[in-house]
Copies of this chain bind each other. A is one copy, B any other.
Amino acid sequence: MNRPEKAETGTEPKHPSKSAGATALDLPAVPLDAAIQAYFAKCEEKLGFVPNVLAAYAFDLDKLKAFIAMADNLMLAPSGLSKLERELIAVTVSCANHCHYCLIAHGAAVRKYSNDAKLADTIVANYRAADIDARTRAMLDFAWKMTVEPWGIEDADRARLRAAGFKDRDIWDIAAVAGFFNMSNRVANATDMHPNEEYYSMGR
């Protein structure tokens, strides 16, 4: 709400400090090194913009790089879960936590991978209403329980995933993605992080 005013620093070169209102915290962006410049350039090329979550972390390059490494490994590296499945977990967790940033940004990602805005909007609302198969439902039930009652997960919950066809490695990936968004949701909510405007209409 009450975001710190940022002096407009001109136009050149393009720099995430332009996104510096990404959170309610006043954290000045640091100069980017070559690796991050390249990474941000790839974001611009592929997405058309640098996601605000990255701009938010850009006050400290070590933190930014650690975040990128973990996020990209979880969401993009080879896995028994498709990229779409991982985004469905992201959105389901973010629904339980009512996280504005992640529902907007990862809702867009579900649209991108599924080409199905109806599916995306349904998962944002309540995954139980979505037209998904039993495997996906079991996966999202697990992610929901991890989010709202993590202390209660027990052997029976893992057994349900195995019965739905998931291998132990897949269970790790479900747990890791669901865990990650329980982190990101909270960092976003705690800092009042706001998604880029582009996300709202992307893939619609």
Binding site for B on A (CB under 8 A): 1-2, 4, 24-27, 59, 62-63, 65-67, 69-70, 73, 77, 94-95, 97-101, 103-104, 107, 117-118, 121-122, 124-126, 128-129, 131, 142, 146-147, 150-155, 157-158, 168-169, 171-172, 174-176, 178-180, 182-187, 189-192, 194, 197, 200-201, 204
Contact = CB atoms under 8 A, between A and B. Distances in A.
Given A118-B197, A183-B183, A192 B129 contact: yes
Counting from the closest, the 6 A-B pairs by CB-CB distance are A98-B151, A100-B129, A183-B183, A175-B190, A179-B183, A103-B125
A36 to B, nearest CB: 15
Nearest to A170: B25
A103 B2 CA distance: 27
B158 A24 contact: yes
Contacts of A95: 98
Contact of A59 (B4, B169, B197): B169
A197 to B, nearest CB: 7
30 contacts: A1-B154, A24-B158, A25-B158, A25-B171, A27-B169, A59-B172, A63-B176, A65-B69, A66-B66, A99-B125, A100-B122, A101-B129, A103-B124, A103-B126, A107-B121, A117-B200, A117-B201, A128-B154, A150-B185, A150-B186, A151-B189, A153-B192, A157-B190, A158-B190, A158-B192, A171-B191, A178-B186, A179-B184, A182-B186, A204-B204
A101 B122 CA distance: 9
A186 B147 contact: yes
B100 A125 contact: yes
Contacts of A157: 190
